[in-house]
Structure 1
Amino acid sequence: MRKSRFTEAQIIGMIKEQEAGMPTAEVCRKHGLSQGTFYKYKSKYGGMEVPL
C-alpha cells in the first residue's frame, strides 16, 4: 500500500482548518488533494489531536 504524502499531524491540521470554518474546497485546493481523499482522512482522523 502506498504511503501517504502527509503526516498524521498535517492531516489533523487540515481537518482543524475545515472545522474552523474554511470551506472544504478551499482546504483541498490549498493542500493539493481531492475532496474524496479529504473526507476519507476526516473519517479516519476526525476527533484526534496532534500528539505532543
Structure 2
Amino acid sequence: MKKRSRRHSPEQIVKKLRDAEVMLSNGKSMEEVLKFLEVSEATFNRWRNQYGGMKSQEAKRLKELEGENARLKRLLAESELDKAMLKEALRGND
C-alpha cells in the first residue's frame, strides 16, 4: 500500500495545478498527470475547484484567512459556553 504523503501547502497546490495544465495541454492523459502529481482524481478536482486560477500568494492568503476564521469561531464558541455557564450558575443561586 502506498504511504500517504503530507499535506501540501497552498503554494505547492497552485504549482502542481499549473504543472498539470501544462502537461494536459501538451497531450498527456489525465492518468499520467495524476500519477506524476501523486494525487487522486478526487484530490485534483477539489484542488482545481478551490485553487483554480489563483496565484500562489492568493492561495496562501486564503489559507491564512481560513485559519484565522477557524480560530475566531473557536473563541466565539468558548465565549458563548462561558456565558451559558455563568447564566446557569446565576440561576442556581436564586
Q: CA RMSD in A?
A: 1.7
| TM-score computed with the length of structure 1 as normaliser | 0.72
Structure 1: distance between partners of 2:16 and 2:29: 11
Query: Residue 16 of structure 1 is aligned with which of 3, 15, 18?
Result: 18
The alpha-carbon distance between structure 1 residues 49 and 23, as it changes in their structure 2 partners (threshold 3 A), is farther
Give the number of the structure whose alpha-carbon radius of gyration is greater.
Answer: 2
In the alignment, which residue of structure 1 is the partner of 2:55?
Answer: 49
Q: Which has the higher helix share?
A: 2
In structure 1, the gaps of 5 or more residues are: none
Q: Which has the higher contact order (CA 8 A, sep 6+)?
A: 1
Contact 1:15 1:42 in 2 (8 A): yes
Q: Which amino acid aligns with 1:38?
A: F
State the 1:25 CA deviation: 2.3
**TM-score, length-scaled by structure 2:** 0.44
Q: Which residue of 2 aligns with 1:31?
A: 37
Tell me, which stretches of 5 or more residues in structure 2 are unaligned? 1-5, 58-94
**8 Å CA contact 1:14, 1:27 repeated in 2:** no
1:2-52 Cα shifts (integer Å, max 9, x gaps): xx710001100111011113543233212321011101110000010011x
